[in-house]
Structure formats: structure tokens, C-alpha cells
Structure 1
């Protein structure tokens, strides 16, 4: 019996949000015993235009049957869609009947508006994470995660991250072999870890001040050192107090947090791409104590270094 997937659209949705997950389910359905049945939905049915101008044919969600999984896509139109009581009622109804409720990118705002994310971990596109947290303070927003599962609710980051989420759903439904073969057909990574960062630490901390941009590069090249505020301030010729205040204003986080994020990025790269012992990587990246590095991984990626390494090996398998 096919697994029924409802794909909820609205005017000015993001086409790739819809197409990416649809392709993953379509291909997986040709490989597994249980095929997927996809149903594009909208409030009124008919053609719904995406933000690109291309349109998809939909059925009215009032006439829709029950679904195993409901996927709410993102896009420019999510702000208007949040204020549609019929759409919100539809999402809340199916949250009580479907096995899973999912969102891609800013589709998380629609789940949040329906009250489905209160008290849960969730993610969205990194550029919208702050707005999601500000508008819905009861959500524990994981701004960097590619996708997050909290109970029956799944959320994913921007656009292509919906494919990662769909592959995780396929693996849950049909097993790791089908998930891996689906990824191979799509020429994408299989099981890219949900906690993996959406973007590099240096990109996130891009500073408008040249001396701090240079400092960030220096930090990344000297992670083994004891990188205190005094040490960092001396690199740019500032007093520690003045440095801390100006650094936070320019970079958007404290010096200690910036150092940890750069250490985490370097450590993760070595964990995923080498066979070096975890203890050696902890020393090389300035954590020194492997337990300290493990706690930092759990805070940032929600999994220990050993799990990150196993997931990376799966990608190559």
C-alpha cells in the first residue's frame, strides 16, 4: 500500500522546496516495496504559482483524505500564508491524524503559527532563524541544523536541506539501503547529518572590520594556542575591554564563542575526513580534553564525535 504524502503549497512558494522532496520520494518509491503517493495541496486547488512564476496543479485541501506525512514548503509567500485561518486549521487537523508533520525552509513559520513547534527544537533557513525565534519564543531554534526531528515534527533548513530531510524520512520508512540508493540516483550525499552546520563558521562571523576578519583567520590557524581575550586583544592592539565590546558588535558573538565555533568546525572536519583518534583531534584543535570536545559537539551538533564519524562513513558507503 503506498505511503501517502501531502505537499502543502500556497502562492509564492519556493519551487525547489516542493520539487526536491517530491523527487526524493518519487525515486525512493521506484526502489522500495512501498511506493509513495504524492498529493500537492492548496486552499482552493488548481494552479498555484511559485515565486519563480512556474505553477503546480493542486487539489483543494478541504477535499483531501488523510495522509501519512504532511510536508509544508517554504517561500516568499509564507508571511501571507501564516495569516490564513483555513490553512492553519488544516495543518492543526492533520497534526492530530498524520504520522509526521514536516516543513522545508520557512515552512517552519506555518507550523509555528499553528502552535506545533511550541516547546520543540526546530530549524529553518539560517537567515530567518532569528525572526522565527523572536516571533515564537517558545521554540528552541537550532539555527545551524540542516534538519531537526522532535517527535513527529520534522523541520529543515533552506531549500536543498529539504532533500536531506526527505532522505532521512525515506530511510525511516524503507531502510538505509533504499535511502542510500535514492541519494545515489539523485547524486547527493546520503544521510548528511541533521546537526551539520548550514554554513561555515567564518561565513557566519563575517566581520565588516578588516582587523577582525584578519583576526578570525589568525585564530583558525592557531587553534592549539590558549586563546584568551588578552591574547586576542593583543593581536589587534586593543585593550581587552575595548576589544570584547567591539568584537561582539562587529562579529555578533563573544570572542570565546567565536573561538569555540572555529575549533568545532576544524574538529568536525578532521573527525569526518580522517582516521585520527578523537583524543588527537581534541589536542590539535585546542580542546585538549576529549570530554570537553564531546560536550561541545553535543551542544552544537547534538551528537558526539563518534556519531559524526559514523555518519560521514555512511556517506562514503
Structure 2
């Protein structure tokens, strides 16, 4: 029998329990901090409590329920054990859809139309061709590459920045810290699809966001820790930035009383840009559990140095 512990906020992983029991007959599932969870072989995690994983002496595998693992790697007591993440092709499609919607939201002035509609204001703005709109993608991993390719197919002028050099047909690429300012200076709609690593925490601060042209907009669908919220609000209120679509936050759920919900120019979405289904998560966790039992190589193992 293999023992699995769920580590997350209460109730989050409840939908996965029957799916995992179907995939792994005889599995024993407990939720942290239940006593049985301390004897687990596999920890399935989303934002686990710091120190919890280190308190599980029989642990052999740590498994995220998402593509990003920063919420696990941030634990200074994290045991030196294999860490796996979820890779769901559906996430790539969903994220591309979200990025396209966000780009069109600003490109076709839907942000202004929605505001005008509340005031009964009939106002048409000059339309710009897609080729005359420069969209910048921060991060050229699987998600960023897919979004960039689709935007090029729609005729947009597309730039992309990555840590190391990349080439992508139809995309003007930049790489390395020295090229970041040049990339930002020509970007009218900035899409953040970076992984969260120590070097990207707070990357989108006042200094860097002010490099964007006046009237630029931000689409944040990577991690909330990338953005310095107060700096964004300051640039919105002084008119340098036009608006922002924010899907991720350091604190989630974003409290109902948080002023961002009512900040002019900001649209808050509830971390829904791309979400793996519980079925896919259960299947991949179960697959790795079987591989662990058979002594076979695990799938989607994280490189802790790179952070993904």
C-alpha cells in the first residue's frame, strides 16, 4: 500500500481523492496535519506549510499539483527528495486563450468600452491594425512560446524576452538582463509568463514598468510575486500605464475588501488563466507513484537550480 498526504489549504484537494483512489487501488490518503499524513510516502502539495514536508520522515516523493513549484521551493526546510510537477497540454491551450483575450481586451479598446457603457457613453476610438500593435512576452518557455506563435499568426508585432537566447519565427527576441530595458521600451501590451525564481521576484517594479511606453498595459498571468502592486497602482494613477489584467496575486484569494478590485483600469480575475484538471493531476501523480514503486524514472522532475 502506498500512502499519500495532501498539503494545501483545507478542502482544496477534496475533488482529487476519489480520482486518486481509482487510479491507485488501495492507496491511503490523509490531509495534513492529520497524524496519518506524517507517515506518507508521497506528498501532493499546493503552498504547503513551511516545515511540514521536513516533518514527514518516510517521504520519498514531493509532487506539485501545478506546473509552477515556487510555492514548494520557497520552504527553507524542504527535504532533498525528488520534486515533480504537472505538465498538462491543456494548460498551454488555456493560457494561450487567456493571453489572446487579454491582448484583444486592450487592442480593441474593450477596457474603455466597458467603462463607457456604465456611463451610457457612445464613443468610438480609432482602430489600429494588429501589425501596428507591439505585444511583448516576458518568458519564452512552453507557455510563452505558444502565446507568441498565436499572436504572430493573428498579425501582431511580437517581441519576447528570455533569460537565455532563443529564436522564434516572426518574433523579435531579446535575452539577458542587459536587453530587458530595450524590450520593455517598445512594448505596448506586456504579458508576463515568467517562472518564479529568486531573480524574478519583484521584477515588475516602478523602475521597469516605467520603461514601458506611456499608455502601455500589463497582463499578469505568471505569479503575483513578480509584480510590486503599489508601483503598478502609482503608474496607473499618474497616467503612465493604461490598465492591467491581473490573474495572480501573492495573497490568494484576493480579499473582497482589497482596493485592487475597485482600482480604475484594473481587471482582477481569480487565478483562472490556465488550470490543470483534477483528472490530469490524479493521473500524473498516480503514474509517478507507480514508477516510484517500480524503481523507474519519474516524469516531470524539477531542476531545483532552475526552479522548473
TM-score by length of 2: 0.32
| Bigger helix share | 1
Tell which has more relative contact order, 1 or 2 (C-alpha 8 A, sep 6+): 2
TM-score by length of 1: 0.31
